[in-house]
C-alpha cells in the first residue's frame, strides 16, 4: 500500500553561481573542471554558471553542497531574508 508524503521544508543557504568560481570556492570548496564547470567538494555533479549552489545540513555528517538549475531552484525555494 502506498502513502502520501510531504517534503519537510527547512531553510537552506544557497548562492547563485554567476561564473565567479572564486566566490563559490571560498564558500564551499571545490575546483574548476573545465571552461565553465565547477566541481563542488562532495558532489558528483558540476555546477555551471546560472546554477544555484545549495548547502544542506546533513545531521551527524556536516554540510553538503550541490548544484541546482535556476528553474528548479526557483520552483522549490523562495527567499526569506
Q: What is the pLDDT of residues 26-73, one digit of tens each?
A: 998 888 887 778 888 777 888 999 999 998 888 888 888 889 999 999
Section 6-34 average pLDDT: 86
CB 18 within 8 A of CB 37: no
Q: Is the pLDDT of residue 17 over 90?
A: yes
The gap from C-alpha 12 to its chain's centroid, in whole angstroms, comes to 9
Number of domains forming the structure of the chain? 1
Q: What is the pLDDT of residue 30?
A: 86
User: How far, in whole angstroms, is CA 40 from its chain's centroid?
Assistant: 9
45 within domain boundaries: yes
pLDDT score, position 61: 83
**pLDDT given at position 62:** 83
Name the nearest CA neighbour of 66 among 52, 76, 79: 52
Containing domain of residue 42, as a range?
13-76
Determine, yes or no, domain membership for 18. Answer: yes
Amino acid at each position: 500500500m502506498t502513502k502520501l508524503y510531504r517534503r519537510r521544508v527547512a531553510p537552506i543557504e544557497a548562492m547563485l553561481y554567476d561564473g565567479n568560481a572564486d566566490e563559490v570556492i571560498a564558500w564551499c570548496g571545490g575546483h574548476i573542471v573545465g571552461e565553465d564547470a565547477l566541481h563542488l567538494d562532495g558532489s558528483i555533479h558540476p555546477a555551471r554558471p546560472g546554477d544555484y549552489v545549495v548547502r544542506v545540513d546533513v545531521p551527524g555528517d556536516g554540510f553538503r553542497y550541490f548544484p541546482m538549475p535556476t528553474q528548479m531552484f526557483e520552483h522549490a525555494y523562495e527567499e526569506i531574508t
